[in-house]
Amino acid sequence: MESYRARALLEYLAASPKYACYHVDPRFYDSISGNFIARLFLKVLRVTDRIHDLIKLCISDIVFILPMSRLAGIEAKLAKLFNKKIIGEFYISKYDTWVNDRKAVGLASRYANRLLKIDQSFIDMCDVVIFLNASERAYYLKVTSREEAITKSRIIPLATGQKKMAAQRFANNKRDQVVLCWWGTFIPLHGLEKIIECAVYLKSANINFQLYLFGTSEEKSKPYRDQISKLGLSDYVIIDNSKSFSDKTLESFLVENCDIAFGNFGDSIKARTVMVNKVVESASMALPIVSQKTQALEEYFKNDESIFYTEPNAEKIAEKVIEMIQDKQKMLSVSKREFKLYEERFSRGAFIQDAIKVLDQV
């Protein structure tokens, strides 16, 4: 999602007569060649290109830090020395991700403190800090102890490219089986174990269903495969780590087969605050979404109008799915309003318009 925002902005700037844009991609001169001469030649080019980058930074008017990016130390110092206006997209917090959410870094560790300093320095150096919604802004500013930075913040919602419209075969009475889908990374924020467990209740209710889980890692999917096997759901739940939006394989499957998409059901404060990418991706395909209620989602999505909210426990998730499939017309009408909301707030056009406002203000 963050890469889509970056591409959309760069494409707009490249085509705009108002702005001259220079984009730095540090991977351009990377090499995996085993040839020493080739590696040496590319190293020289990297140094030359680095000098060129710094010159461009010094003569620019605005430095725009794209999502998931950072300014190196010398770049930040030069930007401040030459009084450049810095706009930065605070997509996620490194500290919150690794310490609070994934719990991979100890709370009182030196590395945790280092991650916090990285987040804080990013906010401090920016003249304008962009957040995805008001809820995440409040959450991340509190996590980083930078609440006062709200005065220099702006909101530009999540954005994704429009995809093909979902066939919705079940709701359109072209198939008796309902196909449920989840996609994303295998991290606690999503509450994936609850989605899997909800299949136990659907099975007990004799619902004709299939649940597909699309991830990105065979290793990280193993605990969930074990859960599926232990619950006797191998005939009902399928994990597939081979598909992605980048090569269109995931989009094609969802458009042709998916009837209901799952949002997130995690237990952390972050999980109950943020808007996960898959909700916007589902909206771009007009796929009915069922998710726990989060602060960020409530800013845009209304229950039974553009989304289906439910409590974050397996039995309640199953009950909501059963309720949805008993009213096919409602599934279709909600998905239409959800797609309209996507066009208004989460499309490429909406993102560019918001970005232009920020650039013009700076």
pTM for the model: 0.91
Burial class of residue 109 in the structure, from the number of CB atoms within 10 Å of its CB (0-12 exposed, 13-18 middle, 19+ buried): exposed
CA distances from 113 to 67, 103, 105, 298 (A): 22, 14, 10, 32
Give buried/exposed letters for 78-94 (b at 16+ CB in 10 A, else e).
bbeeeebbbbbbbbbbb
- Tell me the H-state helices in the chain: 2-15, 36-59, 73-81, 94-95, 110-125, 134-143, 192-204, 218-230, 249-257, 277-284, 295-298, 314-325, 328-341, 348-361
pLDDT tens across the length of the chain (362 residues)? 668 999 999 999 999 999 999 887 777 777 666 678 878 888 888 889 889 989 999 999 999 999 988 898 899 999 999 999 999 999 999 999 999 888 899 998 999 999 999 999 999 999 999 999 999 999 999 999 999 999 999 999 999 999 999 999 999 999 999 999 999 999 999 999 999 999 999 999 999 999 999 999 999 999 999 999 999 999 999 999 999 999 999 999 999 999 999 999 999 999 999 999 999 999 999 999 999 999 999 999 999 999 999 999 999 999 999 999 999 999 999 999 999 999 999 999 999 999 999 999 98
Domains of the chain by residue range: 2-22+60-159+348-361, 178-346
> Under CATH, which number does the domain 178-346 receive?
3.40.50.2000
